[in-house]
Amino acid sequence: MEKPFILITNDDGITAPGIKALWQALSSYDVVVAAPIHEKSGSGLAITPTRPLQIREFPWKEETPAWSINGTPADCVKLALSVILNRSPDLIVSGINKGSNSGRSVLYSGTVGGVIEGAIRNIPGIAFSSESFDKPQYEAYEKYIPSIVDHFLTHPLPKGSIVNVTFPSNFEGELQGFKMARQGKGFWTENPEKRFHPAEGHPYYWLGGKWMTFQEEEESDVALLKKGYITAVPLHVSELTDFNHLQNHKILFEDLFDKIKDTPADSEKVK
C-alpha cells in the first residue's frame, strides 16, 4: 500500500525544533519539507509579491527532501505546489508552533496560513501548535501526532477545510484526552513597549503581545485546553460568506442603488 504523501511546513523557520519534532513524528510517511528560512510568526496568509523568492535545498535527516524559502509559509506552500513537487500532497501539516494558535489567533498565525493556502486548492491540512510558549514539550507531543494524522486521512475533511490542533500547556500533568472543539474567542493582542533609538533619540515600538481573555464556551478550544485536553478545531476556510447577513440585507443594499442613481450630484445642485 502506498504511503500518504505529506508536505510539512511551519512559520518558526526550517531550523526550529517544532518542525523537527513534527517530521520525526511523521517520518514513517512519504514526507517532504518546505519551510521559511527565517521565522515568520504572525504572517497569517501573507505572501511576498514585492521581492524575489529563492528556493534552496536544505540538508535533512534520512535524506528527506527539504527546501528553505525566503518567504512566508503561504509562499512555501505555493512554491512547493507549483515549482518543487511533481505531484500534489495528500495532506499538508504545519508546526509544531511555539505558542498557542487557539481561539481567534488563527487569523494571525502563519502556521495556520500555510495549511489554508493548501485548503484553497482543496488539499486538506492540519496545523499543530503548543499552548506553551516557554516550555513546549515537543518530544511528548510526537506520539499523538501520527494517530491524529491517520484519523483525518481515514475520515477526510470536507474540501476547503483544515484542522487546528493545539497541545495544552499543562502537558506534563495528566492529559484528559482528545476533544473536537469549537473555536474560542481569545486572541493575542498588542502590548506595545516604547523604546528610544540610542543615537537619534526618536521613539520606536516593540509590538509585544498579551492574551485577551473572554467568557468562553465550555466546548471551545481555549476552555478545553485549560482542562488538559488536546483540542482539534475544524475550520472551513474556502467559504467565508456571512449568509445570514447576505439573506437579511441583500435587497436593502441593492435597492440603495435605485435611490441614489437619479439623485443630482452636488455640482448639479449648485447650478
Q: Which domains does the chain have, with CATH numbers?
A: 5-186+217-241 (3.40.1210.10)
Q: What one-character-per-residue DSSP string does 41-85 give?
A: TT-TT----SS---EEE---GGG--EEEESS-HHHHHHHIIIII-
Q: What pLDDT does residue 267 have?
A: 58
Output the pLDDT for position 31: 97
3-state helix, strand and coil shares in percent for the chain, rounded to the nearest 5: 30, 25, 45
Give, in order, the Cα–Cα distances in Å from 108 to each of 44, 93, 101, 112, 221: 5, 17, 8, 8, 17
Q: What is the pLDDT of residue 55?
A: 98
Q: What is the DSSP letter of 263?
A: S
The pLDDT assigned to 68 comes to: 98
pLDDT at 271: 56
The whole-number pLDDT of residue 200 equals 81
pLDDT at position 50: 95
Using CA atoms, how far residue 174 sits from 52, 169, 171, 177, 179, in Å, is: 48, 11, 7, 9, 15
CA 234 to chain centre: 12
Entry pTM: 0.89
Q: Report the SS3 class of residue 29.
A: coil
Alpha carbon 56 to chain centroid distance?
Answer: 23
- Which residue numbers in the chain have pLDDT < 70? 172-173, 187, 190, 211-212, 265-271
